[in-house]
Amino acid sequence: MTESVDPGMGDKLAVLQQVFKLRLIENISEIDQLWKELQNDRNTDVRISSARLYRIFHGLAGAGGTFGAIAISRIARELELKVKPLVDGDSDSLTLLPTVFKQVDDLLEQLRKAGNAWLPSNIPYLKNEEISNSRDNNLIYLAEDDALLASDLVEKLKLANYDVRHFIALSDFEEALSKQIPAVIIMDIVFKEGGVAGANIIRKISREKANFPPVIFISVRDDVESRLAAARAGARRYFCKPLDTHKLISTIDGLTARIEKKPYRILLIDDDENLLECYETILERAGMIVKAIPNPLDGLSALINFKPDIVVTDVYMPECSGPELAQVIRQDDTWALIPIMFLSTETDLNRQLDAMNLGGDDFLVKPVDAEHLVSAVVARAKRSRWTTRLNRDLVTSLRESEFQLVTMNQHNIVSTTDLTGKIISVNQKFCEISGYSRNELLGRNHSLLKSGLHPKSMYQDMWQTISEGKVWHGTICNLKKNGEEYWVESTIVPFLDENGKPYKYVSTRTNVTAVRENEERLRRSQVFANIGTWDWNIRTGGLYWSDLIWPLFGYKKEQTKTTYENFLSAVHPDDRQMVIDAVNNCVENGAEYNIEHRVVWSDGSEHWVHESGDVLRDENNKPLHMLGVVQSIDGRIRDEQELVKAREEAESANHAKSQFLSSMSHELRTPMNAIMGYGQLLRMDKEQPLSESQQESISEILKASSHLVELIDEVLDLSKIEAGRLDLTIENVLLDEVIAESLQLVMPMAAKRSINISLSYESADIAIEQLPDQRSLVQADRKRLKQVLLNLLSNAVKYNSDSGKIIVAVEKSVSSHIIISVSDTGAGLTREQQFNLFNSFDRLGAEDSDVQGTGIGLVITKKLVENMGGSIGVNSQSGNGSTFWIKLQGDVLSK
């Protein structure tokens, strides 16, 4: 569709029309002068003077019609015809000069009168066409009664972002077209109404509607009658089924301007600058980019720099005519395809043909109507673009074919033979892999490379296939020159002549020796690991098993087919539904397929296998294949069963131990209490006081008894914890009070060794007598929390150095937890000691010192903290003291 009229363009044409009128007066004056010289000066060369007049008449004939001076154009055309024989040196015309002079005199008088009387007509313009119905650039109408083909085509068009409406009945299509016009119509030729019914309906409707959209016909018919019917209906393209949908969509993209359409580029050449500017204005207003030059000698450089889609040139120009310029352009193959359109007042058909033979593609006779000019230029430019595109695609295809050939030569082993199998060409890869030189191979037969591993029947089948013009595929083992075997995947393609008969055979091979070796390694590794693989084609139901699958399922390969049913038959009946559900869940929902189940062999024995796999899907998430591996886990299952049995036995023994320790603790407590009681009575006896030596003995008895009672209490606590009989009451406990009470109990012990104890709340040190200005609440059992703190504090005193320090710190963690730490300045712990710190009855070497302990205090502490939902740890370095910390859930509240 042409663009709307630009008022500025109309003004420009009006100005050009006035310029033409002014130049007309100058042209008539120049004509009069030249004519007088020709008549009066007998020394004047008739042909030269006539040529000058001819060019003026030629220009007036074209420009006059363009600017509405029809009478002037007609008279100038007659004058042009009268003078033309004089220019050509026609002998008859020269003998009749007086008659010619008389006729020209009469026509010149008419030209003067017409020039004086001429009033400009309406300025020529291109009509602003309006489409009555809206046209959606994305809307496609598809009229096709083959529902299956239409469904596939609709889906692919939608993927290309087109809005498609499909019609099976022609009546429905016609009704929809009356309401909305699409961007493109795709129409089948054949319908139930007739063999060319599709073309007939388009032909009928297009006559009734203006601005009819482009139509692409599709059909199974490829006869002349169908194509002619489509052409008469105005077809833009004709595609035969089966459709090349990629090419079809590309064509639609071009018709709908989905591919960005660049304005046509026009190189315009005319020595009449006023007319040149007029044509330039008309073409630019039609949306084209125009390069206008008045001198044809500048045409070649303009062509190179401007790169137009079409050249539009006048025929008769000084210095270089249009046909001569066309000859110059055609000398360079770069511009062989560019259209050249001639504009001239020449009406002689033979002269037009002569100009066309010199390189032109079209001939427009001046004066040319503006719309006709635009239509002709657009048609030629459009075809030029199309031809250029086809040529570019062809060049690209040839270039890609060359690249593919180079790629194949670089990667594959390639050879060519004649019909008898004699080698006529080989590539370098062939020589490299075989070890033979090119001269050693040319003229020989491929039997030179036979390994002897394949039966004669295989080669007979190969020759039978290719001699019938069919492609043969196969895997062949060949021998190198040094006798070494190598394997190739081979494809032999017969090249066919115009009669469909082979005239040579081209073979391409890929070296798969490494692949074969890897396959063998994989097979051996699967045998070693007792692993099998399977591949289930979900769409076809086909199932592939590797060699190890059969024995894993208790089958023999020679007797059992690879089917899904046979797979399920091998599964233990109690596990079968679980396996089916797992497979379906993986295929349908994408769940992980990772399952252990039993299989029952033919001898009735049960075996355990582990299977894992996943589903391969297409771009629409539809399942294509399910791949998996199967491995025997009989050994692992037996080991796990033995471990479970051993664990149960160990738990039973541990429970018995705990019960024994608990009972023994109670049994030992009674006599120990008696020993301690009688020892205290002896020390308190005033009637028979003990000697100093006896007092020391009693102190040792009481000290040992107290240690033994402490040991009994800790063993009793440990046995309760391990037996799960320790009752805890978890509540909000005021940590500050528990810390204060614990410190009061250990202060005397610390004072004996001059150990200083300090408090730190949120990194602020406070006096030990003071409670902080906040309350720290923790989730704990108050009694057991105090036991934990006393254990950590007493250890900090016992294992500290004399005159050392202890720091008790309370900090709030970012995760709603309270951290209580006890730091000392003792000897610290090595890495090994830290690793064994929470093992029962391991005193980490302190058993050789005078520090008393049982070796289970920290074990009990750890279990108590963990049972209260907390955690415990230590930070220590040998020689730099230790920091024990516990972490409990809690918070710090203001008082």
Q: What is the pLDDT of residues 367-401, one digit of tens each?
A: 777 777 887 888 888 888 877 777 777 777 777 76
Contact of 462 with 421, CB cutoff 8 Å: no
- The C-alpha atoms of residue 219 and residue 233 are separated, in whole angstroms, by 15
Q: What is the pLDDT of residue 94?
A: 52
Closest to 884 in 3D by CA, of 259, 865, 129, 83: 865
Q: What is the pLDDT of residue 766?
A: 63
Domain boundary, last residue among 668, 686, 718: 718
- Give me the percent of the chain exceeding a pLDDT of 70: 80
Q: What is the tens place of the pLDDT at every residue in 865-874?
A: 998 999 999 9
Q: Residue 350 corresponds to which amino acid?
A: N
Q: Tell me which of 102 and 747 has the higher pLDDT.
A: 747
- Please state, as a whole number, how many other Cβ atoms lie within 10 Å of the Cβ of residue 280: 20
Same domain, 774 and 890: yes
Which helix (H) or strand (E) is 783 found in, with range?
A: helix 782-798
Beta strands in 201-288 (DSSP E): 215-219, 237-240, 265-269
Domain with residue 96: its CATH number is 1.20.120
Same domain, 584 and 529: yes
Classify residue 638: in a domain, yes or no.
Answer: no
Q: Tell me which of 773 and 656 has the higher pLDDT.
A: 656
Classify residue 667: in a domain, yes or no.
Answer: yes
Classify residue 125: in a domain, yes or no.
Answer: no
The DSSP symbol for 421 reads: -
Same domain, 600 and 747: no
Q: Residue 191 corresponds to which amino acid?
A: F
pLDDT band at 819 (very low <50, low <70, confident <90, very high): very high
Same domain, 665 and 578: no
Classify residue 126: in a domain, yes or no.
Answer: no
User: What is the arithmetic mean of pLDDT over 592-610?
Assistant: 91
How far, rounded to the nearest angstrom, does the alpha carbon of residue 507 sit from its chain's CA centroid? Answer: 35
643's tokens: 């471990």
Residue 1, pLDDT > 60, answer no
Domain with residue 561: its CATH number is 3.30.450.20
Cβ neighbours of residue 177 closer than 8 Å, sequence gap 6 or more? 141, 205, 209
Closest to 286 in 3D by CA, of 389, 381, 388: 381
Q: Tell me which of 542 and 123 has the higher pLDDT.
A: 542
pTM of the model: 0.38
pLDDT band at 218 (very low <50, low <70, confident <90, very high): very high
Closest to 302 in 3D by CA, of 264, 265, 355, 339: 265
Same domain, 226 and 297: no
Domain with residue 675: its CATH number is 1.10.287.130
User: What is the arithmetic mean of pLDDT over 110-118?
Assistant: 67
Q: Tell me which of 613 and 15 has the higher pLDDT.
A: 613
- Give me the percent of the chain exceeding a pLDDT of 90: 25
Classify residue 772: in a domain, yes or no.
Answer: yes
CA 705-706-710 angle, to 5 degrees, is: 115
pLDDT band at 660 (very low <50, low <70, confident <90, very high): low
Q: Tell me which of 444 and 520 has the higher pLDDT.
A: 444
Same domain, 148 and 178: yes
Q: Where are the alpha helices (DSSP H) in 3-161?
A: 7-40, 46-66, 70-88, 91-95, 97-117, 147-159
Domain with residue 197: its CATH number is 3.40.50.2300
Quick one: how many helices (H) and strands (E) in the chain?
28, 28
Same domain, 455 and 549: no
256's tokens: 């709908």
Give strand pairing partners of 614. 627
Residue 95, pLDDT > 90, answer no
Q: What is the tens place of the pLDDT at every residue in 825-867?
A: 998 888 888 887 777 655 455 554 555 555 677 888 888 899 8
- The C-alpha atoms of residue 738 and residue 740 are separated, in whole angstroms, by 5
Domain boundary, last residue among 207, 227, 255: 255
Q: What is the pLDDT of residue 32?
A: 74
Q: What is the pLDDT of residue 295?
A: 92
Same domain, 745 and 690: no
Quick one: residue 894, left, alpha or beta (phi over 0 = left, psi -120 to 50 = alpha)? beta
Q: What is the pLDDT of residue 5?
A: 37
Q: What is the tens place of the pLDDT at every residue in 538-595?
A: 888 888 888 888 888 888 887 888 888 888 899 999 999 999 999 999 999 989 999 9
Same domain, 504 and 559: no
Cβ neighbours of residue 616 closer than 8 Å, sequence gap 6 or more? 623, 624, 625, 626, 627
Residue 164, pLDDT > 90, answer yes
Give strand pairing partners of 414. 508
Contact of 845 with 852, CB cutoff 8 Å: no
Q: 282-296, 473-487, 531-545, 641-655: which has the minimum mean pLDDT? A: 641-655
582's tokens: 């797992």
The domain of 217 spans 135-255
Classify residue 260: in a domain, yes or no.
Answer: no
Q: 419-423, 468-472, 541-545, 699-703: which has the minimum mean pLDDT? A: 699-703
**Which residue pairs, CB below 8 angstroms and at least 24 apart, start in 820-823?**
820/735, 820/739, 820/789, 820/885, 820/886, 820/888, 821/883, 821/884, 821/885, 821/886, 822/789, 822/792, 822/793, 822/796, 822/883, 822/884, 822/885, 823/796, 823/881, 823/882, 823/883, 823/884
Q: What is the tens place of the pLDDT at every residue in 729-749?
A: 899 999 988 998 888 888 988
Q: Tell me which of 547 and 47 has the higher pLDDT.
A: 547
Contact of 115 with 28, CB cutoff 8 Å: yes
Which of 59-68, 281-290, 706-715 is predicted most confidently? 281-290
- The C-alpha atoms of residue 369 and residue 803 are separated, in whole angstroms, by 119
Average pLDDT, the chain: 81
Q: What is the pLDDT of residue 122?
A: 45
Classify residue 229: in a domain, yes or no.
Answer: yes
Q: Where are the alpha helices (DSSP H) in 427-572?
A: 428-434, 438-441, 456-467, 513-529, 549-552, 564-570
Q: What is the pLDDT of residue 265?
A: 92
Same domain, 374 and 269: yes
Domain boundary, last residue among 632, 667, 695: 632
Classify residue 546: in a domain, yes or no.
Answer: yes
Q: How many domains are contained in the chain?
A: 7
Same domain, 705 and 753: no
Contact of 285 with 192, CB cutoff 8 Å: no
Closest to 493 in 3D by CA, of 523, 509, 471, 520: 471
709's tokens: 């009672």
Q: What is the tens place of the pLDDT at every residue in 294-335?
A: 999 998 999 999 999 999 998 888 888 888 898 888 888 888
Q: Tell me which of 260 and 656 has the higher pLDDT.
A: 656
Same domain, 777 and 833: yes
